[in-house]
Amino acid sequence: MTTPTPEESGAGSRPAPPRRPQQRKQVLLRLDPLIHDALTRWAGDELRSANAQIEFLLRKALSDAGRLPRGAGAIPRRGRPPKEPGD
């Protein structure tokens, strides 16, 4: 009878590092100037930044196609957090 190696018993394996919240990815996006202008106007109409509008549209397209990852969190809200009752 042989004793298991640390790899076999799991004793030598390192614990998984704690998961940190993922940073938002930065992406360089090249757009036709007319598309950018239209997108900026649309974002302004909906009180969003152009970046937030792009993310909104990408999430909607992914959702409509059934490809939005389950773990995708909501779009972060900007500004002050809402007041709690009693404050």
* Cα–Cα distance measured from residue 36 to residue 42, given in angstroms and rounded to the nearest whole number: 10
Neighbouring C-beta atoms of residue 36, cutoff 10 Å = 13
- Helical pair 33-45 and 50-64, crossing angle rounded to 10 deg: 90
* Cα–Cα distance measured from residue 45 to residue 54, given in angstroms and rounded to the nearest whole number: 14
Give yes or no for residue 86 having a pLDDT over 90: no
What is the overall mean pLDDT for the chain?
A: 82
pLDDT digits (tens, 9 = 90+) for 6-21: 555 555 567 766 655 6
* Cα–Cα distance measured from residue 81 to residue 58, given in angstroms and rounded to the nearest whole number: 25
Structural domain spans, the chain: 30-67
DSSP H helices, the chain, are 6-9, 33-45, 50-64
